[in-house]
Structure 1
Amino acid sequence: MSSRVLRKLQGEQDISNVLGVEGNSDGEADVTSSSVRKKPLNVNRYDLLNQQSLSESEVKEDDDHETETKDAKDSLGEDRASSRRKKKKKKKKSVKSLSCRRSSEDIEVDEVERSVREVNKMLGETPSSQNYLGNEVNAAMQKKLTGILSIEHRNLNPNIEMKRIFGSKVVQSEQNKKRGRGRGTLKSTWLVTPRENWPQIGKPGLSMSLVEMKEGVLYFKYEHNLHYQQIQMKFLEAVESLNPDNIVSIINMHPYHVDALLQLSDLSRMSEDLQMAAELVARALYCLECAFNPLFNLARGDCRLDYRRQENRALFLALFKHMTYVGQRACYRTSLEFCKLLLSLDPEGDPLAAVLIVDFYSLQCHEYEWFIRLYEEWEAQGRNLMQLPNFAFSVAVANFYLASQEAESMANRSVEKSPKWDLVVADEMLQNALIMFPGVLLPLLEKCSIQPESHVLSFPFFGVKAQISQTPALLQLIQLYVARNYHIWKEPALLPWLEKNVNRVIERVNSGDPYVKDCEMKRMKRYLGTPKNIFRHIILSDIKDVSANISGDIQGPVLSFDPLPPVDSINLYVRPQRPRAHENSNTFSMFFRSILPNFNINELARDNAQAGDAVEGAEGGANPDGSLTSRVDLHRSVTSLLDAMRDLLSNTFPDVPHDGDVDDDDTEEENNPQNRP
C-alpha cells in the first residue's frame, strides 16, 4: 500500500510510525506539526475499496517522488509545502487514466497466471509443447465421441417448436385453457415440463451414481433404495396377477413409480387414450430426471448407461415412448433431440435400435446436413449403416434436398462456383439403394397410392424376384421403413426423381451390372436373423403393418415395461412365478394378458383345454352366447378402469393453492367439479 493512501487513512502525523521513518529536518517537523493542529479527517475506510488501486509501477513512482520531496522540504517553508501538495493533486489527475490502464493490465496478467498455476498444480508441470499436443488430442477425441450427439436444451421443449409452427399466441391461449388451480413449486427439469395436477415428487427412492470414467466417458447407473425395492416387488406381483386394478392401486399409493406408470401408459394407448398415455410417460420421465446425478450432463452427450442393468432400462423405454408421442404432435425437431439423447446413452449397443428412426425425424425437421454428418462419421467407424434400408434411402433423399436447395440458391444469386452438394451423387445413392433393396419400391408406391407404370410393375427384379431374395429379417426392416417413411415420398419433388432413377436401375439390371449380383449375394448371406434390439424397436413402435414375429429361441414373456431383457442381464429383481388357476374364467385377466405382444389366442385355448372338456361343455351349454357376453363384460371392465384412472390423474392436486393467483372465475370453477381440468 502506498504512503499516499496511508496518509489519507491515518493522517500525516502517523505516517512516520507506519513506515518506520523518523523526521530529520526542521521542515518536515513543521509540516508534521502543522498537520497536527488541523482538524482530523473524517474518512470512511471502506471508501478505499471503491478507488482504483495503483499498479506496482505507479506505486514505485509515487515512492520515488515522495523521497525527492522530502529532500526539498529541508529548504522550503510551510507555504511552499502547501503549494507542492496542490501540484501533486494536479499530477494525480493527469495520470489517472494511465494508472487505471496499468492496473487493469496487471490484474488481467495476474488472473491468467493464477489460472495457469492452478492447472499446473492439478496436472503437474509439463512443457508447453506437450500441453499443446495433449489439448489437441483431447479436443479431437471429445469431438469424435460426443460432438454429433450433443444436445441443445431449447430443442427439448415441444412447446417452443409448437410456437414456431403455430405462433406463440395460439400456443399460449391453449396453455391458458389447460391451466388449472395454483400448484406447489415443482422442480424444473430439462426433459419434461411438470403438469399442474402432478403431486410433489418428494423422495421416491431413485438415485443415480457414477460407476466409472473411461476415455473421457462417464458411466452411471440407477439405484433403488430398500423402500423402492419393496414397491417394485409389489408391482411385479401385480403384473403376475394379470389384474390392472392392482397396478392402479400402486400408482394411487406411489404416484411416481416408474414401471407402473409405463405399464398403465401402454394400457391407455391400447385403449386409444393417447393423451393420458403421453402424460403417464412424461411423469415417469420427470421422476427419472429428478434422480439424475449432478455429473450426468445431457448436453455433452458423453454420459452412458448400461442397458444390461435392470434399473437402467426404464430411462431408455421412457425416452423412446416420449419421443414417439412428441413426434405424433408433429414436433419432429424435438423428437430428433430426444432420439439423439437416446443414442448417446449407448451409441455402440443401441438397445432400442434408435438408429432405425433417427433418419425419419432428421428428414421431417430438415436437418439434412446433420444427418449426413452422422452417416459419414459412423460409417467411417465401421457401422455399416448402408445395410439398413432406412439409411440407404434417407441419405440419398438428404443429398437430393441439399443439392436442389444449393442449385436454386446459386441460380437466384447468379453465382458461378463449384457446388458443395452434387445431384449426381444423390442419383447414384438412390440407385444403389434400389438395387440393394428392390423389395422397397412396390410396397412404397402402394402405400403412397401411386400406380406404377406397366414396365416397372412387370419387371421381375422389383416383383417376384425381389420377394424371393429377401429373408424374413430383411422383410421386417423393409416393412418398418415403408410404414414409417412413406409420407416423405409424397413430396412432389421426390416422385419425378424416383421415377428417373427407377428407369436407370432397370437399364443397369438389363446391362448386367456386377453390382446387382453382388447385392443379391449380400441379401442371401446377411439378414439371417433379427437382433433383439430390432425386436424391441418393433414392439415399442407398435406399427400395425409391421409384425414382430419373435423367433422361438427367445423364451419368456414380452412385458411392455421390460421387453426382451438381454441374455446377460444384471438383475436386481426376479419375477415371482405363481400358479394361476381358473384363468379361463376371468375376462379381465384375459384382456390384460391380451395386451402383451406375445399373446396368442391359440396357445390360450390349448392351456384352457387342459382344464377339462367337461367344464368347457358345461359353460357352453349354460350360455350359448358366452362369447358375446364376455366381450360385453370386457368392454365394461376396461371402461370402468380407464374412468378410474382419468379421475385419479385429473383430481391429483396439491393441498395448498396459490390464493393470490385465483380470481373469481377460477373460484367458480373450483366449486364446480365438472369444470375442473
Structure 2
Amino acid sequence: MSSRQLRKLQKQRELEQSAKKQNDQSDQDEESDDEPAPAARSKPNLFAALGGDDGDDADAEADEDDDNEGDAIIETAVSEPIGSGSAKKSKKKKKKKSKKKAATAADASEEDEIDKAIKSLKIANTGKGAPAQDEEKQRRAVAFNSIFQINTYHLRAINEMRNLFGREIIESANAEEERQQQEQQQQIRRGQQLDLETFLRAQAPNAKKLPEVSLRRNVFVQGRDHWPAQSAAGLTMTEVAAGDGDGSSTEYAYLHEGEYDGLQTLFFACVQIGDPMRMVSLLKRAPYHVSTLLQVSAVARQDQNMALASELCERALFTFGRVTTSAFRRDVEQGRARLDFRRPENRQFWLAGYHYLRSLLRKGTYRTALEWTKLLYALDPADPYAMRHYLHFLALRAYEAKWLLDFLQDVENAGSVAHEDLIYVRQSGILARLQMGETEAAKKELAEGIRRVPWLYCALFRELGLDAPPSVWGVHAESDARQFWVKLYLHFAKDLWNNTQATSLLTQIAKNMEKVDVGSLPVDDAPPDLGATRLVFLEGQTSLIALAPRALLDRQPNYDFDPLPPAEEDNIFTYQGTRLPWTEKHRRDGGGVGHAANDDPHVQEALARMQHMLAAQGGAAGGRRVQGFGIAGQQEDSDYDDETDEELRRDLEEHARRSREPGFLGQLMQMLGVAGGGGGAAVAAAAAEDHDGDGVDEEDEEDEEVPGAWPGQGEHR
C-alpha cells in the first residue's frame, strides 16, 4: 500500500468526522436521504484496504494495480457507512449526549487502526520499498534472466548430433573410434613412434577409468571413456555473493587451491621456456590442469589436428563441470549464475568455452553452439568476449528467430546500458522476421535500418555482389571505428543475407527509398572496446585486427592462455600462480636493473608453494630430479631422464641469459634440480637410483614415450 492511498484513507476519515459534527448540530430533519450515518455505527475496516481481509474480492483484485487499489479503498470506506445509514432511516433519533459518546469512542478506535496501518506501512516500505530506478533495474534483471535461461540438454553436442544423424550413426561412429584406439594401443606396444594424439591417449592396460556417473552427469560436456581417472587437483568452486542484494543473480568463483596453484606456477615456467614438448609432458602428468589443456589444444591446432584440439577443450570444460556446486547448476538453468571476469581463474572458462564454440561450428551443431554462447554471455552481462556478435548469427543458424527478437527487445529496453555497437546486431532482426514469415515487419525494419546505418548496407550490397541503389550509393564508413563494426557484422552475417528472399527484399526496399541524409546521422561510432578487440584477436581476421585500437592490441601481458586480460589494477588476484604474468612483465620492464622480481613476496610465496608440492611428490631442491607430477597421490610411471634434465637446464639458462636476470625462472631451475654447477650429475645419480628401485618394465616405459612429432626424449638418445 502506497502513501498516496494512505492519504486517501486519512481524508476519508476526516470527511466522516466532519459529517458527524454536522449530525450533532442538526435537528429533526436528520432523516434526509443525503445524511451520512454516524461512523460509530458502521465503521469501515481499514485493515481490509491493506490486504488483511481475505474475504474482500474487490481489495484482492485491487492489489494488482496501484491506481485501481486507491479507488477500491475509497469505495470500500464510503459504501459501508452509506449502507448502514440507510438501514437507520426509519428509526428514532437518539439523544445528542449518547451520540457524542459514540462519536468519541469511534474516534479513538479509528485513530488506533490508522496508527497501526501507518506503522505497518512503514515496516513494509523499509523491507520492500525501493526507488523507481531500482525497481526498473530489477525488472531488467528478471527479464534478462528469463531470456538467458540455459537448457543443459542443449549444452551437449552429442544430443544435437543424435537429432541430426540418428542414434545408429552415432553408435557406429563411436565403435569406429574405439577400434582406432585399440590400434593405437597396439602401435604403442610395438614401440612405434607416436603422434601427439596417440601419446596423450595412451594409458596402461589396467588403468582405472572415471565412474560412468561422472562422465555422463557433467553439467557442461559428457566425458570420454579414455580420459584418465584423476582428480581436479585443487580446482574448486565457491559462492561469492548475491548480486546487488536483490536476489536476481548469484556470483560464483573458481579457486586454485593447494596443489593446483603450484601446477599453475610450473605451467607458467613451461610457457616461458617456449618448448611445446614441455607442455605436453606436463599435461601427461596433470591431465586436468585447465591452462595446460588449453595450451596443448593450441599446439594441436597448429598441428592441424582439430579433433584433438576440440577434445582437449572438452576436457577443460569437463574439469570445470566436475567441481561445480548444485547451486551453481541450478542458477545456470535459471539464468542467475555469474562469474567475475576480473578473476584470472574464471577467465579460463571463457577461453575454453570460446574454443569449444569454434569446434561446434566446424561440426555444424549450431543449436549447441547457441546455448554455449548464451551461457558465456549470461555469466557476465558486460560481455568480455563480445558474444553478442555470435548470438545473432547463431540464433538464425539454429532457427531460434523468436529468441533473437526477444533478446533484441531486451537490448532496446536496456537503453544506455547496452553496447553502442548493438545497432549493427539489431539488423539481423530483419532476417529473424523473414524466418518467422513476418514480411511486412521485416520491410519496415529494413527501411529504418537503411536510414540509420546506410554505410552498413552499402558495404552489404558490395559483399553480396549487388549494385548499390541510389539511396545508399557512395555512403561509406570513413573512420576506423565505423569500419571495424561494419566488417565485424559482415564477418558473421554476410552469408545469412545471401539468399533469394533476403536479397530480393533488400533490393526492393533500398531502390524505393530516397537518398539517405547522412548529415543528420552521428559522425562516428564508439571505438571498439576491449571485449570486441579480444574477439577479433581470437578470430584471427587480419582485416579486423588492422582496424582494432593498437593501444588495446599491444597490451602486456598477453598470452594464449589469457588473451588480452584486463589491466593489472582491474584484476582480482587470489592466488600467486595467476599473478606471475604481471610479475614477469614488471621484471622485463625493469631492464635487468635490480632484483625486484626476486624480492617480490608474491613470487616467493609461489616458489615456496611449488617447492612444497615437489617435495611432497618425491622431488627436492639441490640436485634431486622431479619424479612424475602425479595428481591426488598417483605416481606416474616415468620421469625425466638425465639428458632431458640437461636440456631443460640449458633452456632455462638461455631464457635467463636473454632476460639478463635469473628472477623467477632462475629460482625455479634450482628448485627443479637442473641448475648448473654439478646439478646434472646429481640428477643422473638420482635417476639411476630411482630406476633400479622402481621396477618399471620396458612396456610401461614405452607407454610414456614422447610423440614423434615433437622433440623429446627419443630424439636425444
User: Residue 570 of structure 1 aligns with which residue?
Assistant: 572
Unaligned runs of at least 5 residues, structure 2: 1-119, 130-134, 183-207, 593-649, 656-705
Q: Give the Å deviation of 1:549.
A: 4.8
- % identity of equivalent residues: 24
User: Residue 152 of structure 1 aligns with which residue?
Assistant: 151
C-alpha distance in 2 between matches for 1:191 and 1:291: 11
1:353 to 2:386 alignment: yes
C-alpha distance in 2 between matches for 1:530 and 1:251: 36
Q: Is the 8 A contact 2:251 2:337 kept in 1?
A: yes
Q: Is the 8 A contact 1:356 1:390 kept in 2?
A: no
C-alpha distance in 1 between matches for 2:500 and 2:296: 41
User: Residue 200 of structure 1 aligns with which residue?
Assistant: 229
CA pair 498-201 structure 1, distance change in 2 beyond 3 A = farther
1:256 to 2:267 alignment: no
Q: Give the Å deviation of 1:361.
A: 0.5
CA pair 220-391 structure 1, distance change in 2 beyond 3 A = same
Q: How many residues align?
A: 429
1:293 to 2:325 alignment: yes
Q: Is the 8 A contact 2:140 2:414 kept in 1?
A: no
Q: Is the 8 A contact 2:209 2:229 kept in 1?
A: no
Deviation per CA, 1:405-437: give whole Å up to 9, x if none: xxxxxxxxxxxxxxxx4x333223223323333
1:171 to 2:170 alignment: yes
User: Residue 185 of structure 1 aligns with which residue?
Assistant: 211
C-alpha distance in 2 between matches for 1:436 and 1:642: 57
Deviation per CA, 1:561-602: give whole Å up to 9, x if none: 111111211233222357799xxx99xx99xxxxxxxxxxxx
TM-score, L = length of structure 1: 0.58
2:159 partner amino acid: I
C-alpha distance in 1 between matches for 2:138 and 2:480: 44
1:198 partner amino acid: W
User: Residue 643 of structure 1 aligns with which residue?
Assistant: 709
C-alpha distance in 2 between matches for 1:441 and 1:252: 51
Counterpart of 1:199 in 2: which secondary structure? coil
C-alpha distance in 1 between matches for 2:160 and 2:384: 28
Q: Give the Å deviation of 1:467.
A: 3.5
Q: Is the 8 A contact 1:441 1:462 kept in 2?
A: no
C-alpha distance in 1 between matches for 2:211 and 2:538: 33
Counterpart of 2:545 in 1: which secondary structure? coil
User: Residue 672 of structure 2 aligns with which residue?
Assistant: none
Unaligned runs of at least 5 residues, structure 1: 1-125, 405-420, 591-639, 648-677
Q: Give the Å deviation of 1:281.
A: 0.7
Deviation per CA, 1:270-311: give whole Å up to 9, x if none: 333211111111111111111112321221110111111111
Q: Is the 8 A contact 2:232 2:319 kept in 1?
A: no
C-alpha distance in 1 between matches for 2:259 and 2:275: 23
Q: Give the Å deviation of 1:226.
A: 2.4
1:215 to 2:246 alignment: yes
Q: Give the Å deviation of 1:139.
A: 11
Q: Is the 8 A contact 1:278 1:325 kept in 2?
A: yes
Task: Return the match for 1:230 from 251, 262, 269.
Answer: 262
Counterpart of 1:546 in 2: which secondary structure? helix
C-alpha distance in 2 between matches for 1:142 and 1:233: 39
CA pair 447-171 structure 1, distance change in 2 beyond 3 A = farther
User: Residue 369 of structure 2 aligns with which residue?
Assistant: 335
Task: Return the match for 1:431 from 447, 451, 472.
Answer: 447
User: Residue 518 of structure 1 aligns with which residue?
Assistant: 520
C-alpha distance in 2 between matches for 1:240 and 1:293: 34
Q: Is the 8 A contact 1:389 1:481 kept in 2?
A: no
Q: Give the Å deviation of 1:386.
A: 7.1
Counterpart of 1:530 in 2: which secondary structure? coil
1:375 to 2:383 alignment: no
CA pair 342-645 structure 1, distance change in 2 beyond 3 A = farther
Task: Return the match for 2:297 from 265, 268, 275.
Answer: 265
Q: Give the Å deviation of 1:239.
A: 1.5
Task: Return the match for 1:491 from 491, 496, 499.
Answer: 499
1:537 to 2:535 alignment: yes
Deviation per CA, 1:448-485: give whole Å up to 9, x if none: 4x3x23x63xx59443x4143xx212212221221222
C-alpha distance in 2 between matches for 1:192 and 1:211: 24
Q: Is the 8 A contact 2:431 2:497 kept in 1?
A: no
1:170 partner amino acid: I
Deviation per CA, 1:221-272: give whole Å up to 9, x if none: 1111121111111111221222222212211211111111112222322333
Q: Give the Å deviation of 1:218.
A: 1.0
TM-score, L = length of structure 2: 0.55
User: Residue 551 of structure 2 aligns with which residue?
Assistant: 553
Q: Give the Å deviation of 1:373.
A: 0.6
For 1:528-677, what aligned pairs fall within 5 Å after superposition? 529-543=527-541, 545-547=543-545, 549-554=547-552, 555-567=555-567, 568-571=570-573, 572=575, 573-575=579-581, 576=584, 643=709
1:161 to 2:193 alignment: no
1:477 to 2:485 alignment: yes
CA pair 279-570 structure 1, distance change in 2 beyond 3 A = same
CA pair 467-477 structure 1, distance change in 2 beyond 3 A = closer
User: Residue 283 of structure 1 aligns with which residue?
Assistant: 315
Q: Is the 8 A contact 2:221 2:314 kept in 1?
A: yes
C-alpha distance in 1 between matches for 2:712 and 2:368: 27
Counterpart of 2:326 in 1: which secondary structure? coil
C-alpha distance in 2 between matches for 1:531 and 1:359: 19
CA pair 312-240 structure 1, distance change in 2 beyond 3 A = same
Q: Is the 8 A contact 1:539 1:548 kept in 2?
A: no
C-alpha distance in 1 between matches for 2:300 and 2:549: 28
Q: Give the Å deviation of 1:445.
A: 4.3
C-alpha distance in 2 between matches for 1:346 and 1:538: 19
C-alpha distance in 2 between matches for 1:299 and 1:534: 27
User: Residue 345 of structure 2 aligns with which residue?
Assistant: 311
Q: Is the 8 A contact 2:425 2:489 kept in 1?
A: no
Deviation per CA, 1:302-327: give whole Å up to 9, x if none: 01111111111111111122122112
C-alpha distance in 2 between matches for 1:184 and 1:344: 30
2:174 partner amino acid: Q
* RMSD value, Cα: 3.6
Q: Is the 8 A contact 1:375 1:385 kept in 2?
A: no
For 1:405-484, what aligned pairs fall within 5 Å after superposition? 421=438, 423-448=439-464, 450=465, 452-453=466-467, 456=469, 459=470, 461-463=472-474, 465-468=475-478, 471-484=479-492
Q: Is the 8 A contact 2:366 2:394 kept in 1?
A: yes
Q: Give the Å deviation of 1:384.
A: 4.5
Counterpart of 1:262 in 2: which secondary structure? helix
CA pair 220-384 structure 1, distance change in 2 beyond 3 A = closer
C-alpha distance in 2 between matches for 1:364 and 1:200: 37
For 1:82-93, what aligned pairs fall within 5 Å after superposition? none
C-alpha distance in 1 between matches for 2:324 and 2:139: 28
Q: Is the 8 A contact 1:303 1:345 kept in 2?
A: yes
Q: Is the 8 A contact 1:256 1:283 kept in 2?
A: yes
For 1:119-138, what aligned pairs fall within 5 Å after superposition? none
Q: Is the 8 A contact 1:431 1:504 kept in 2?
A: no
Q: Give the Å deviation of 1:143.
A: 3.8
C-alpha distance in 2 between matches for 1:460 and 1:490: 20
Deviation per CA, 1:140-163: give whole Å up to 9, x if none: 787424111001122112122122
User: Residue 324 of structure 1 aligns with which residue?
Assistant: 358
Q: Is the 8 A contact 2:252 2:337 kept in 1?
A: yes
C-alpha distance in 2 between matches for 1:646 and 1:497: 60
